[in-house]
Amino acid sequence: MCWSATADLVAGAGIAAVGVASVTLAARRPRDLPLAALPLLLGAHQMIEAAVWHHGGGTGPATVLWAVVALPLLALWVPAAVLCAAPASARRRLLVPLAAGTLTAAALAYALATRPVSAEIRGHTVGYSLGLPYAGPVVAGYLLATIGSLLLSGDRGLVLFGVLVAVGAAVTFALWRAEYVSTWCAFAAVSSVVLLRWVGRRRPTGPPRADRQGR
């Protein structure tokens, strides 16, 4: 979320560009591709919100699409992507946040299918309302699936990334709750750059082994 339609568009384009670079770097490590593509998803998400701003909020397709990405899709995407990229020693424990993400995504998808979601422009923020029942357990499952999977990944870079996301989410939520300004786009941009650096450090160097043997 950003503080205006223009900010969402600019941030979304920049984050998506980081995503393209990240995916390019991860091309020779297929297990990293889902996580490397996360900035692409976040960038698209910001640009979708620009449409929400443009339409003055409401319950239109842009609002619904924003909620689909923010809620069930990310709840499932992040733990699955972390599981793919994590070292083998961490994969068993990562099944816990993946299970939490699967259940949370199912609950959120059901809520979106059966309840209207609306957006309201509040100064420099956008407020979204779904009327979700059992919000406490659902939020807990969402946090376990997303931030929890990063913290349990067993990869130092991803753990640091998870800490950054947790701090950014807390600060962003506090500012949004006060209806002061939406700043998640700034944290999403910083997080995407951190993720790009992580992908770059994991990029294989030199030609594939088969090529080296054939020379």
Confidence of residue 215 (pLDDT cuts 50, 70, 90): very low
Burial of 11 (0-12, 13-18, 19+ CB in 10 A): buried
The mean pLDDT value for 197-205 works out to 80
Number of domains the chain contains: 1
Q: Which neighbouring-strand residues pair with 192?
A: none
> Which pLDDT does position 90 carry in this prediction?
96
- Residue 82 resides in a domain: yes
In the block, residue with structure tokens 């420099």: 124
pLDDT > 70 in the chain, percent: 89
- Residue 213 resides in a domain: no
Residues contacting residue 78 through CB under 8 Å, at least 6 positions apart: 38, 101, 145, 146, 149, 150
Q: How many CB atoms lie within 10 A of CB 203?
A: 13
- Residue 147 resides in a domain: yes
- Residue 34 resides in a domain: yes
- Residue 200 resides in a domain: yes
Which tens digits make up the pLDDT trace of 9-43? 999 999 999 999 999 999 989 999 999 999 999 99
Q: Average pLDDT of the chain?
A: 88
The mean pLDDT value for 87-96 works out to 96
Element (H, E) at 195: helix 184-202
Element (H, E) at 128: strand 125-129
What is the span of the domain harbouring residue 96? 5-204
- Residue 209 resides in a domain: no
pTM value is 0.89
Q: CA 195, CA 68: separation in Å to the nearest integer? A: 23
- Residue 114 resides in a domain: yes
- Residue 211 resides in a domain: no
Confidence of residue 214 (pLDDT cuts 50, 70, 90): very low
Say yes or no to pLDDT of 146 above 80. yes
